[in-house]
Amino acid sequence: MTNSAYNPDVLTCLANLSSDEVFTPPQLVNRILDLLPADLWNDKKTTFLDPGCKSGVFLREIAKRLDKGLEKQIPDRQKRLNHIFKNQVFGLGITELTSLLSRRSVYCSKTANGKYSVCESFDDQQGNIRFQRTPHTWEKDRCVFCGASQEGYDRGKELETHAYQFIHTDKPEELFNMKFDVIVGNPPYQMGSDGGTRDIPIYNKFVDQAKKLNPRFLSMIIPARWMAGGLGLSEFRRTMLEDRRIRQLVDYERMDLVFPGVDFEGGVCFFLWDRDNEGDCAVTTISGDEMIGPVARNLDEFDVFVRDSHAVKILRKVLSMGEPPITEILSVDKEFGWTSNFDGFHAKQKPNDVALHYGLKGKRLIGWIDREDVGKSPHLINKWKVMIPQAYGERGTRPAMVLGPSFIAGSPSVCTQTYLFFFVGSKKEATSLQCYLRTRFFRFFVSLRKITQHATRSTYTWVPQQTWDRMWTDEALYKKYELTKDDISFIESRIRPMEVKDE
């Protein structure tokens, strides 16, 4: 067999330019467009907007569908294409380079009015795929629209500002001075870290801005970490879960299933927002080769979104017992006031010192500090503690470990921000608690709220407390909560046993 006739789609071969420019494969674009009502492709008045064009693939695939759907209404193909590109398909480039690439993909020419453009109706170079260099609006060293730092993004003209036009305005309706029936796209995901340890999410601002335009339909593909975490996403998560107009949600637990070669923890999802219809959401979950759903779900049942419908059934069963949460005996972040890089301790023990547990380059270490220098939470110094690292990542491995290795810290002791800790009154109780923490049962309920490598205090909200007078096992817990064979099988397919090394 010869490959001489093979003509690959160049948009399937593009590498991503940066963390905010994750190009969308055409096959994925069409799965997203399939969520829209089929009659849209036969309507010559329907208007479409992609507010964050990167490769132009959304607009190209929309135009292809309209070209076929309007064939009977506008038989002359050139007139049909002129109508589609002039009156129905619109986009905003996120950078000058991506706007050129998008025009090349959609118009077959980097200039809309160029010699080889497939549209004859434009008299300017940008056509309906526009890019305008937009400045940030600084206030107290931060952009009021996107939160970028002035130090990191107040740049010269030779560099991109990454002040995306769609979200750097209070009046998005004035960008094209028209209404849109459908807004679709794959918006930028984050602003690069400007000296901190975490990047700033930005995709949520595109979703919120699109809703302000009040289209009939809105569909975007975004990181899934908003479902249970994400820096500064609490309000966005609340509004998304409460929005009954989100009628379909397709959730991929691993991002590389849709974006090969892209490593972005927490997975990715796309949704359909239908302005004129409210109700439960049809949720489809893709975990490896397994597809679950669609299942009708009330997204607002809990304060975070539980991604698997079987997990919801188990969660309801355990929460119905009404037991106090384990968070009642769990520390807060920086309980003793020290960040992970705190170094105000000494290597050798002195009189009145207490052990200070800290981490360095993945190693568990102990220093010493005078009891009088512990200025925050001194009442917890003498507690026995089970310490657990706040960060542990597996990049979507199944079955998962969920948490890193724990250890018992005797009394007296303190720690840096590297660890959270559970506190009890004796070594016997600490040993019982650690056995519980190592069970699949415990880690399963943590996993329902842990979508990135960081396990904050709220991640443990759904773990019930036990009595600390025995060595807890999964078998005992399964029996206590009357879990079925299917429940047990599901938990054990998601969580692997924790290897216990000699302390």
Same domain for 288 and 430: no
Pair of tokens at residue 209: 């801005």
User: Dihedral sign, CA of 110, 114, 116, 117?
Assistant: positive
Which of the residue ranges 115-119, 288-292, 354-358, 391-395 would you say has the lowest mean pLDDT?
391-395
Mean pLDDT of 319-330: 97
**How is 390-427 classified by DSSP, letter by letter?**
SB---TT-SSB--S---EEE-SSEEE-TTEEEEEESSH
Reported in sequence order, the residue ranges of 224-289 that DSSP labels E, i.e. its strands, are 246-252, 268-274, 281-287
Q: Average of pLDDT values for 96-124?
A: 92
Tell me the per-residue pLDDT of 222-244, one tens digit each, with 9 for 90 and over: 999 999 987 889 999 999 999 99
Torsion (CA) 97, 15, 288, 248 in degrees, nearest 10? 10
Query: Domain for residue 17, yes or no?
Result: yes
Q: Give the total residue count for the chain.
A: 503
Average pLDDT, the chain: 90
Residues 6+ away with beta carbon under 8 Å from 252: 224, 258, 267, 268, 269, 286
Task: Give the pLDDT score at 266.
Answer: 82
- Indicate if the pLDDT at residue 52 is higher than 70: yes
Instruction: Say which range, 235-244, 257-266, 284-293, 295-304, has the weakest mean pLDDT.
Output: 257-266
Q: How far is CA 13 from CA 21, 96, 124, 259, 261, in A?
A: 14, 20, 30, 11, 12
Q: What is the DSSP letter of 497?
A: P
Of 96, 8, 83, nearest to 47 by C-alpha is: 83
> Do 423 and 484 belong together in one domain?
yes
Q: Same domain, yes or no, for 108 and 223?
A: yes
Give, to the nearest 10 degrees, the angle between helix 309-319 and helix 440-447.
Answer: 110
Domain check: are 361 and 476 in the same one? yes
Q: Are 216 and 275 in contact (CB under 8 A)?
A: yes
275-314 exposure pattern, b = at least 16 Cβ within 10 A, e = fewer: eeeeeebbbebbbeeeeebeeebebeebebbbbbebbbeb
Amino acid symbol at 21: E
Lowest mean pLDDT among 8-17, 141-150, 183-192, 216-225: 8-17
Same domain membership, residue 272 and residue 336: no
Structural domain boundaries enclosing 487? 326-494
Mean pLDDT of the 2-9 span? 42
Asked if omega into 351 is within 30° of 0 (cis), the reply is no
Q: Is residue 398 part of a domain?
A: yes
Q: Is the pLDDT of residue 424 over 90?
A: yes
| Co-location of 98 and 23 in the same domain | yes
Same domain for 371 and 446:
yes
Residue 99 domain flag: yes
Residue 56 within any structural domain of the chain = yes
For position 54, which CATH number holds? 3.40.50.150
Per the domain annotation, does 389 fall within a domain? yes
pTM across the whole model: 0.87
Q: Which of 386 and 290 is assigned the larger pLDDT?
A: 386
Are 279 and 415 found together in one domain? no
Using CA atoms, how far apart are residues 473 and 429, in angstroms rounded to an integer? Answer: 15
d(CA 40, CA 180): 13
Instruction: Say yes or no: 244 and 383 in one domain.
Output: no
Instruction: Answer whether residue 499 is part of any domain.
Output: no
Rounded to whole angstroms, the Cα distance separating 388 from 418 reads: 8
Candidate from 66-70, 159-163, 191-195, 415-419 with smallest mean pLDDT: 191-195
The residue out of 307, 341, 368 marking a domain boundary is 307
180 and 278 fall within a common domain: yes
Can you give the pLDDT at residue 399?
83
Classify residue 315: in a domain, yes or no: no
Identify which has the larger pLDDT, 18 or 277.
277
Instruction: Specify the residue for token string 């975004």.
Output: 222
Task: State whether 37 and 83 are in the same domain.
Answer: yes
d(CA 23, CA 473): 46
Question: Residue 200: what pLDDT?
Answer: 85
Q: What is the pLDDT of residue 262?
A: 74
* pLDDT computed for residue 7 by the predictor: 42
Query: Both tokens of residue 487?
Result: 């429940």
Residue 65 has pLDDT above 90, yes or no: yes
E strands, 240-312, in order: 246-252, 268-274, 281-287, 290-297
The H helix count followed by the E strand count for the chain is 12, 19
Q: Count the domains in the chain.
A: 2
Rounded Cα distance between 409 and 387, Å, is: 7
Give domain status of residue 316, yes or no.
Answer: no
Kindly report, residue by residue over 258-283, the tens digit of the pLDDT: 887 776 778 899 999 999 999 999 99
At residue 10, the pLDDT reads 42
Residues 249 and 364 in one domain: no
| Mean pLDDT of the 338-346 span | 93
pLDDT of residue 21: 52
